């Protein structure tokens, strides 16, 4: 599997005033996992043929993705674990550590139902100044401090 990104733009809301017309242009990104660029090219036929949308680019963003059938994290005291990268792409598997972050971050995680050493999938990451938050696929709509998560140490790495 390869990862591809498609960026296109489309017209947004138009504001008209006497003698002035202003249209907001939206840029949108789509992400695909496919065997070849031809598969993605065919999948975006509606974008390519829509006069209201303009294709900016289609690019291969990762040449090869290895899909692991199962991941078993070691339940260690934390040695060897790395804090998650705040630039992790969606789909990255992270492990909840039940520690770190600002006061209240761990309580928020626990109240939401996260369990220590459990694995979760990154849906989205957002960074604001000195704080970065992660939204997990399993807990849509909720944000958690990225400091509470690590990259899991796999049995084969231990």
Give the pLDDT confidence of 80-119 residue by residue, as tens digits.
567 788 888 888 889 999 888 887 999 999 999 999 989 9
Residue 87 lies in a domain: yes
pLDDT top residue among 104 and 11: 104
Residue 158 lies in a domain: no
Split at pLDDT 50, 70, 90, the class of 44 is: very high
pLDDT at residue 134, rounded to an integer? 92
| Distance (Å) of CA 121 to CA 137, 147, 148, 150, 158 | 6, 15, 14, 12, 21
pTM reported for the whole predicted model: 0.49
Please give the residue range of the domain that contains residue 95.
Answer: 82-151
Position 69 pLDDT exceeds 50: no
The CATH number of the domain holding residue 90 is 2.30.30
Residues 40 and 97 in one domain: no
Position 77 pLDDT exceeds 70: no
Residues 56 and 94 in one domain: no
Residues 8 and 50 in one domain: yes
Residue 157 lies in a domain: no
Residues 95 and 138 in one domain: yes
Instruction: Provide the β-strand partners of residue 28.
Output: 8
């Amino acid at each position: 599997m390869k990862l591809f990104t498609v960026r296109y733009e489309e017209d947004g809301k138009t504001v008209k005033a006497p003698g002035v017309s202003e249209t907001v242009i939206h840029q949108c990104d789509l992400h695909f996992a496919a065997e070849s660029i031809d598969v993605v090219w065919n999948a975006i036929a509606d974008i390519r043929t829509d006069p209201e949308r303009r294709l900016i680019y289609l690019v291969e963003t990762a040449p090869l993705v290895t899909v692991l059938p199962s991941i078993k994290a070691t339940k260690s005291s934390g040695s060897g674990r790395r804090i998650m990268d705040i630039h992790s792409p969606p789909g990255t598997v992270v492990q909840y550590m039940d520690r770190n972050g600002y006061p209240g971050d761990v309580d928020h995680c626990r109240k939401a139902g996260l369990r220590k050493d459990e694995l979760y999938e990154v849906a989205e990451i957002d960074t604001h100044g000195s704080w970065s938050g992660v939204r997990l696929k399993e807990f849509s709509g909720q944000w958690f401090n990225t400091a509470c998560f690590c990259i899991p140490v796999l049995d084969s790495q231990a």
